[in-house]
Amino acid sequence: MVKHQFQNDPLHNRDVFDQIYKECHKAVYANIFKLIKDSSIAEDILQDVFFALWENKARLDPHQPVSAWLFVVSYNRSISYLRKKIKKNICYVDSYDPFHTVAEEIFPDQYLIEAELNMLEEAINALSPQKQKVFRLCRFEGKSQKETAQLLGLSTESVKDYLKQSKYFIKEYILSRNPTGRIISVSVLVMLANL
């Protein structure tokens, strides 16, 4: 496991960053490629993710694994790319009914990803407002538990407890609406496991 304690020393920070990149870039790329299925775009997103790591190095919680942060950021960037791609390719017609079956055959993964994201968003929206804020700050904006506690005027223990409760609630919410588990992907479960 990489010790990712960035400091005020630029040379030390560069060494830490290089070590994280060396140990994690292949796994992060694999996660991106699994969603994007285009090596060129996956490489671009990989570079964006590591650029974001460098920009946010001072805000990382040294007690949390950097790999979890990288996974969440790479997943979010990949999904954002896919959403933009889908929106760009939308043709406006009077009715989509005749195209529905054909679209499912052509883009099954994208529909599955959209379904997962919608279900995850529903679960997050079903949380209490305070838990939603904590979850979004920590999981989607990459804030540490300490930063989130400071921003919301909470104790770090409260933030930790909210994340634990949110993880359990979201998992149960998704499973209760999808008992067969067909819509839940490994990526959603891994994100929940990293809470």
Task: Give first-to-last CA distance, the chain, whole Å.
Answer: 17
How do residues 47-60 score in pLDDT, each as one tens digit? 999 998 888 877 77
Per-residue pLDDT, averaged over 117-139, amounts to 84
Work out the average pLDDT over 59-77.
Answer: 82
**CA separation for the pair 126, 11 (Å, rounded):** 45
Q: Helix, strand, coil: what percent of the chain each, to 5?
A: 75, 0, 25
Q: Is the pLDDT of residue 34 over 80?
A: yes
Residue with tokens 């949390």: 64
Q: Which two tokens stand for residue 180?
A: 């067969």
Sequence letter at residue 30: A
Most confident of 18-27, 101-110, 112-121: 18-27
Q: What pLDDT does residue 63 have?
A: 74
From 22-36, 91-105, 145-159, the region with the lowest mean pLDDT: 91-105
DSSP letter, residue 183? S
Per-residue pLDDT averaged across 166-173, rounded? Answer: 85
Phi-psi region of 90 (alpha: psi -120 to 50; beta: other; left: phi over 0): beta
The model's pTM: 0.45
pLDDT at 190: 46
